[in-house]
Structure 1
Amino acid sequence: MSISHHYIGCDVSKSWLDVFDPRAGRIQHLDNTAEAISVFVSSLQGQDAFVLFEATGTYDSVLRTSLHEAGIACARLNPTMVRRYAQARGRKAKTDALDAIILADMGERLRPDPDPAPCPHRARLAGLAARRDQLVAMRACEKTRLCELTDPFLRQDLEETICHLSRAVARIEAEIERQIQENDALRDQARILASAPGVGPVTAQILLALMPELGNSNPKRLAALAGLAPFNHDSGKLKGIRCISGGRARVRRALFMAALRAARINPTLKAFADRVTSASKVRKIAIIATARKLLTILNAMLRENATFRHQ
């Protein structure tokens, strides 16, 4: 028996939430704080409510966590998809209140599946991985500046900053490793992923943190989620060039670098990359195809709980 939800739209910004409940027929303006959100979520208990909101980086984290902890169904939607839906409905104007109304209408008409509750271990791992990326990017910028300087004082200052950032990176990486080792599922999956060619510790950490679907989904969906699926661009007699689009950028970058190495060290993947290169005449296309194939292999490895078998 299916549950009949009533859909509530919630537009999220840094400081406040605009909530539209069709049953009340009015916009509710809330502070984006844990206290205000807790009161709002408590009011939804026993109502079969389904809350829809756009993905807004970290601004929706408190709302998302509170809804899942309370057992309230919710869906975090792609903002582009929501805007396209509004345009399809003839809504050209855009305000926070109108966005909340559109979200409620979108839920009622499209009835999306609720998001699964996030794993707190993966969520913390994602935060740690993001912080590591920030520190590595800052260190790279400082190293670039160091190459451009000749003044001894400035060079010493930059070298000290680089050393400090390196220590910070090492500290974050140690915490990431501890987070993985403390969780049995993450530890086993990290071991399986690291057995694949080209997949190093950082790639394994990114996949564990940002691809929870890995091992539980079909290859085509995973390729689309990772931004590695080539989409058609055809119309009438026009046969456009297939190209990748969207997806999780950090996962795509990690898989691309893994595929770049795997295409050099693994005979099977090297032969595959060479065949695609011969057909397309573009090595980058071959590496993207190899990344997609590698993702399929990793998915099968986690699904079967088996390490990589070299052929």
Structure 2
Amino acid sequence: MLYIGIDISKATFVAAFPAKNGYMTETFTNDTKGIRKFIGKLSAGMHHCVMEATGNYCFLLLYLLERAGITASLVNPKKIKNCSRVMMSVTKTDEKDARLIADFGKKMHPATYKFHSDSLMLPTQLSLQGMLPAIETTWQIRETCYGCRSQQAHKAGVCSCHVQ
């Protein structure tokens, strides 16, 4: 298993791929286009992506990795910070953080992150960030209406969230 370290931010993410002499890093945009480009470089049975849990910025990437069948882990940032202290890493750049996260994955073998249900995705947050097209923010991700909890009523437009 090859561990890919990912340092993620609002606009971009840096991925550290294992190479002969350490790690090679590459930056991708944190949108569907950039994520699909990143996923195109991975193999489902060979790669394990590791990233810090940093707000909502990681969830689109996690979701699309899961859909592609690629193993991914979400790690508490304090664990990465403690690992950085142990390795006496002083300089902080996105590239170095991605390498550190990859090293952490290689040494610690973090647990695979699994969504409990597609309904846990927050499509409104993702669409507000411009990360998902409007069609993906409907019932393809969310199974029930949060206002009335009835998928059939919501599709028919007669649920409590549609009643004025």
Q: Closer, same or farther in 2 for the Cα pair 1:82/1:125, shift >3 Å?
A: same
CA distance in 1, matches of 2:121, 2:44: 28
Residues paired across the two proteins, number = 131
CA distance in 2, matches of 1:100, 1:63: 15
Relative contact order: is structure 1 or structure 2 higher (C-alpha 8 Å, sep ≥ 6)?
Answer: 2
Matched, 1:178 2:143: no
| Greater per-residue strand proportion | 2
Letter in 2 for 1:108: K
Q: Over aligned residue pairs, what C-alpha RMSD do you find? A: 2.2
Letter in 1 for 2:4: I
CA distance in 1, matches of 2:94, 2:122: 30
Matched, 1:6 2:28: no
Question: What is the match of residue 46 of structure 2?
Answer: 48
Shift of 1:177: 4.0
Shift of 1:39: 1.6
Letter in 2 for 1:101: R
Report if the CA contact (8 A) 1:125-1:176 is conserved: no
Q: Closer, same or farther in 2 for the Cα pair 1:74/1:17, shift >3 Å?
A: same
Q: Give the match's secondary structure for 2:15.
A: strand
Letter in 2 for 1:92: V
Alignment partner of 1:102 out of 100, 113, 120: 100
Unmatched tracts of structure 2, length 5 or more:
126-144, 153-164
| Runs of 4 or more above 6 Å deviation | none
Q: Is the radius of gyration larger for structure 1 or structure 2?
A: 1
CA distance in 2, matches of 1:125, 1:18: 24
Report if the CA contact (8 A) 1:11-1:100 is conserved: yes
CA distance in 1, matches of 2:44, 2:112: 17
Q: TM-score, normalised by structure 1?
A: 0.39
Q: TM-score, normalised by structure 2?
A: 0.72
Question: What is the match of residue 269 of structure 1?
Answer: none
| Greater per-residue helix proportion | 1
Q: Closer, same or farther in 2 for the Cα pair 1:26/1:125, shift >3 Å?
A: closer
CA distance in 1, matches of 2:34, 2:56: 17
Alignment partner of 2:19 out of 10, 15, 23: 23
Shift of 1:126: 10
Report if the CA contact (8 A) 1:75-1:115 is conserved: yes
CA distance in 2, matches of 1:80, 1:32: 23
CA distance in 2, matches of 1:123, 1:29: 25
Matched, 1:34 2:32: yes
Letter in 1 for 2:39: V
